[in-house]
């Protein structure tokens, strides 16, 4: 490999960027993925930088109390409606909520992560009511709240590569890359 900074992985630049974004997102979401050795070494570089960023900014927020309008719900969990001027309107009530407000550097870190990671949509396991039950996962929040606290004491080396041997078909060396 020449000193060009990164592996080409036999792809054009946009394809390579998309592949790496996809695999880094999958690694951080699932905790481990199976891929080729060359890809894993590239993924490791990016994923470790993201985790380092998350560790650095994980406690950099202020708790703020805000008043939020929340739809009033009845016993069945349905929104309550009332008739105003002949129209059905949802009834809202004011509620005090405590939210985490990112400080500027944490916000910058969050935006940097969002610019790289792909959005992830969680679907229900049973496959029923796909439309209503999908949730988008807030990946920066997952990095800050779940992944970063695990690695506070570690000085780098957040991923592990386990070799599996050659792939049938093309003989490419396969590995599992996982968060330690």
Residue 12 has pLDDT above 50, yes or no: yes
CATH topology of domain 1-60+103-180: 50s Ribosomal Protein L17; Chain: A, (3.90.1030)
Enter the tokens of residue 47: 């994923």
Q: What is the pLDDT of residue 91?
A: 85
Q: What is the pLDDT of residue 4?
A: 62
CB 91 within 8 Å of CB 81 = yes
Averaged pLDDT of the chain: 90
Whole-prediction pTM: 0.84
pLDDT at 17: 95
Between the alpha carbon of residue 75 and those of residues 69, 72, 78, the distances in Å are 19, 10, 7
Q: What is the mean pLDDT of residues 62-89?
A: 86
40 CB-near residues (< 8 Å, 6+ apart)? 161, 175, 177
Q: How confident is the model at residue 1, as a pLDDT? A: 42
Can you say whether the dihedral through the CA atoms of 157, 115, 23, 3 is positive or negative? negative
Q: Which of 14-18, 19-23, 88-92 has the lowest mean pLDDT?
A: 88-92
Q: What is the pLDDT of residues 79-132, one digit of tens each?
A: 888 888 888 888 888 889 898 899 999 999 999 999 999 999 888 777 777 777
- CATH 3.90.1030.10 residue ranges of the chain are 1-60+103-180
């Amino acid at each position: 490999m020449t000193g060009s900074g990164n592996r080409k992985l036999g792809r054009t630049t946009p394809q390579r960027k998309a592949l790496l974004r996809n695999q880094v997102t999958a690694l951080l979401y699932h905790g481990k993925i199976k891929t080729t050795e060359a890809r894993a070494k590239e993924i490791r570089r990016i994923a470790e930088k993201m985790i380092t960023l998350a560790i650095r900014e994980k406690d950099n927020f202020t708790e703020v109390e805000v008043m939020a309008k929340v739809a009033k719900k009845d016993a069945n969990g349905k929104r309550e409606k009332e008739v105003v001027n002949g129209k059905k309107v949802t009834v809202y009530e004011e509620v005090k909520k405590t939210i985490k407000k990112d400080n500027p550097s944490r916000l910058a870190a969050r935006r940097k992560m969002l610019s790289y990671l792909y959005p992830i949509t969680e679907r229900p396991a049973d496959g029923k009511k796909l439309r209503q039950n999908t949730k988008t996962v807030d990946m920066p929040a997952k990095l800050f709240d779940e992944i970063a606290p695990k690695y506070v004491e570690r000085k780098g080396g957040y991923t592990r590569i386990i070799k599996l041997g050659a792939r049938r078909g093309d003989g490419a060396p396969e590995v599992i890359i996982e968060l330690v």
